[in-house]
């Protein structure tokens, strides 16, 4: 049987005992989880695609299982297959659509500020140190938000960087393909949670309509704390305000009845029909 996580813990009280488990941190079968560099080299030589080696390494290499460094085999096979038809085709994302991501989505919907901050560090190319639970089973997935790191690690979103320190691992994004997934899918999942909060969004829009500056500021600050990283504004100083303007407009789009219906009252400065 294969899978990302264990189905059940071995116990004298279960009907499934004495299983031999090989996780991605074990050395027993480490090189069988993917293609080694030598195997990819031979494949590209066979199909006369040596000039694509650097691109394939950048996009699909980077996984560290046990003591072995390996490529994602599905990605390499899929890309080589496409190259045989169109040699100029750039690398594509083949990995993210191979299975459902509902487990990751549910865990990230409950992400804490610390979780979001750690993901921003990963996107910036940095490593984070987290406790990985190799004994985690599907039954215990949602017991603790920190389990998200064990799931991301086991599922291939993250990989080990350097030596282990007990059950504490340094984790990094393995390659460019997974980095793109973090930049799009995972960040979108986290920010969609804010947009789904219709009660708070409506209160924010109402605060604007009634010129309630204090309430608008409080709610807007909450959204910024929950969804925005300092890396989102890593541009020239004179352009930093542009990001906040765009973010504000995105929130206000929740209501489609602004244009032509409201205008500022000269006496009280509140919006009037």
Q: In what helix (H) or strand (E) does residue 200 lie, and over which residues does it extend?
A: helix 198-209
Q: 86 or 187: which carries more pLDDT confidence? A: 86
Q: How much is the pLDDT for 128? A: 92
* Cα dihedral 169→173→175→181 (10° resolution): 150
Q: Let me know: does 207 contact 219? Beta carbons within 8 Å.
A: yes
Q: Which of 27-36, 126-135, 192-201 has the highest mean pLDDT?
A: 126-135
Cα–chain center distance at 200: 25
Q: How far is CA 33 from CA 101, 132, 145, 171, 234, in A?
A: 20, 19, 27, 18, 38
**Average pLDDT value over all residues in the chain:** 78
Q: Let me know: does 132 contact 151? Beta carbons within 8 Å.
A: no
Q: Give the whole-angstrom CA distance, residue 72 versus residue 91.
A: 13
User: What average pLDDT does this structure show over 240-257?
Assistant: 72
């Amino acid at each position: 049987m294969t899978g990302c996580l264990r189905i059940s813990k071995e116990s004298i009280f279960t009907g499934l005992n004495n299983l031999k488990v090989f996780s991605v941190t074990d050395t027993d079968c480490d090189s069988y989880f993917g293609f080694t560099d030598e195997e990819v080299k031979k494949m590209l030589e066979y199909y006369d695609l040596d000039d694509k080696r650097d691109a394939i390494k950048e996009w699909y290499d980077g996984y560290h299982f046990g003591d072995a460094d390996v490529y994602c085999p599905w990605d390499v096979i899929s890309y080589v297959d496409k190259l045989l038809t169109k040699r100029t085709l750039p690398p594509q994302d083949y990995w993210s659509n191979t299975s459902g991501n509902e487990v990751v989505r549910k865990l990230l919907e409950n992400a804490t500020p610390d979780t979001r901050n750690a993901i921003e560090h990963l996107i910036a190319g940095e490593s984070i140190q987290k406790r990985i639970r190799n004994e985690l089973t599907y039954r215990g997935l949602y017991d603790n938000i920190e389990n998200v790191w064990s799931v991301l690690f086991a599922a291939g979103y993250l990989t080990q960087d350097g030596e282990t320190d007990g059950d504490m691992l340094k984790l990094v994004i393995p390659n460019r393909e997974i980095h793109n997934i973090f930049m799009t899918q995972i960040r979108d999942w986290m920010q969609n949670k804010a947009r789904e909060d219709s009660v708070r969004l409506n209160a924010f829009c109402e605060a604007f309509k009634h010129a309630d500056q204090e309430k608008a500021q409080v709610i807007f600050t909450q959204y910024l704390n929950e969804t925005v990283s300092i890396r989102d504004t890593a541009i020239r100083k004179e352009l930093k305000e542009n990001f906040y303007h765009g973010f504000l407009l995105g929130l206000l789009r929740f209501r489609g009845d602004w244009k032509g219906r409201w205008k500022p009252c000269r006496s009280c400065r509140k919006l009037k029909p």
